[in-house]
Structure 1
């Protein structure tokens, strides 16, 4: 069974994004190269667990983190499950595998002060690109959407009359997020500049490059990194940190965990709970000030 068949399955049947499918197939192809280099086999479907363990050891020797190795093995496991489904193999060689231990990754959000500094001081809106960049940051912070979701937004997804934004999330699941006033202002300003672009090629897409083409993920990352590197001392300044900031700040202000879950487009509460760690200080403060047994 070819890797391409697996790729088509993920894309067409499982409805995974192109980015996710590319990551899965790249991991499997890298494993295939390892097998050939070690003169084991050139057919991934015929491997045994010993050969997989040798790959893991080789990855560790390359100083690749346990988290990244687990992700690669997860890709491989998905491929084997697909081969079981299509009856190409009878036994998954990873059935008894246990993931490598990883330390709990703490993702620190931007502070409210850092957000305000970027939105109100760092970005000076004077042209199309600065108006677009301000709107992108405002949108990330006001909605908590993922980078790929922002890139895929269309003009028609902004419903100004009802004050909603339609977001197409993972596995093509739609959700609606309120269009708050600050976002309306930033949107209107961006649209004015957008309408004056000399050439617009991808006209249905909301976010464009200065050449009128659909914006791309790497550019979005560079935009966020540029502005927040100036305003923050954090080592990581990415769109995901903005998503994290959105969730954390809502929870700090008393938002219900289920509501934040729906806004983020998570399938389960477990995914949303990772954002609660930085709210513990506020939680302790509320508990201390509010619990009847602690009243004087």
Structure 2
């Protein structure tokens, strides 16, 4: 099949592999970026073209090496599948040996001051919503931070559990036990397909209780998604077809929310930065917390957890001053 398109190749790949919708989306995104660079069909893709694309991605677009390697991983898997199934004429995968070395970088975290700024911003949104409810609920212009109480519950969950974005989206009402104070993180949302349980802290409990109560009042079933802004956005409900607002929330509302917060705070805020922050703070005392952090983050191996050990500059300064005093 020399004329096979990328769409046909992906369709066959998805049919033959049991992968999640989020993973399918990531493959489609990578392919879209490649097709923007070249109009060549898969059969005509050469290693030289791949290396030219690499220069474009790294030098022209100035994307990170890890971003490029992620693209290579996806494309290499598609081409390996196509070659194995006889859909592509290649003798060798053109994406082989195309990865670049990634330097070890410090995990991107949020400082205490930045976290306070984020919460202060959202509390301001909440107060404005309380004072001017009509302008927020029926305004013709969408507000990604509306309703503020919902997004505060999202922030609390991320900052108190270190969940990934996809894990948050897969939490169902039945996965939250307020009495015994735990949340089940199900395998469908986990990167390594593992199911585990995270604790509900005293700081997280009130907003989880609120979102559970409001979800049940809105008619949500126990097997339905807990963090679903579609249930509470009055403008979305008014403009949607019957039953449409009951559909699951995807990644786009979360991305829109964090883009808006980042813009208003003037620094980058993301779900993964909250995850890095939780882990890095706990790993300031690795001898005491390493197993706990491994369990909290759902890591399969200690190697992933150990990456969060960072030089605590305050402790380092104190140690240095003690040595110099001698």
TM-score scaled by length of structure 2: 0.70
State the distance in 2 between where 1:47 and 1:223 align. 38
Question: Where do residues 36-55 of structure 1 align in structure 2 (5 Å cutoff)?
Answer: 36-37=39-40, 42=41, 44-45=42-43, 47-55=45-53
Change (3 A) 1:170 1:270: same
Aligned-residue offset at 1:260: 1.5
State the distance in 2 between where 1:138 and 1:244 align. 15
Aligned-residue offset at 1:56: 2.8
State the distance in 1 between where 2:313 and 2:258 align. 27
CA contact (8 A) 2:51 2:98 kept: no
Q: Does 1:188 align with 2:222?
A: no
Change (3 A) 1:215 1:3: closer
CA contact (8 A) 2:172 2:222 kept: no
Equivalent position of 1:178 in the other structure: 199
Equivalent position of 2:298 in the other structure: 265
Aligned-residue offset at 1:81: 3.2
State which of 215, 218, 224 in structure 2 corresponds to 1:204. Answer: 224
Matched residue SS, 2:92? coil
Aligned-residue offset at 1:151: 1.4
TM-score scaled by length of structure 1: 0.76
State the distance in 2 between where 1:29 and 1:49 align. 19
Equivalent position of 1:130 in the other structure: 148
Equivalent position of 1:63 in the other structure: 61
Gaps (5+ residues) in structure 1? none
Count of aligned residue pairs for this structure pair: 280
Equivalent position of 1:246 in the other structure: 278
Matched residue SS, 2:280? helix
CA contact (8 A) 2:282 2:293 kept: yes
State which of 4, 7, 11 in structure 1 corresponds to 2:11. Answer: 4
* Superimposed CA distance per residue, residues 39-65 of structure 1 (whole angstroms, 9 cap, x where no aligned partner): xxx2x2564423322333444564342
CA contact (8 A) 1:137 1:224 kept: no
CA contact (8 A) 1:131 1:193 kept: no
Matched residue SS, 1:165? strand
Gaps (5+ residues) in structure 2? 134-145, 238-244
Q: Does 1:218 align with 2:239?
A: no
CA contact (8 A) 1:221 1:239 kept: no
Which segment is superposed worse, 47-56 or 161-170? Answer: 47-56
Change (3 A) 1:157 1:287: farther
Change (3 A) 1:81 1:190: same
Matched residue SS, 1:182? coil
CA contact (8 A) 2:109 2:277 kept: yes
State the distance in 2 between where 1:233 and 1:270 align. 33
CA contact (8 A) 2:174 2:222 kept: no
CA contact (8 A) 1:154 1:205 kept: yes
CA contact (8 A) 2:122 2:148 kept: no
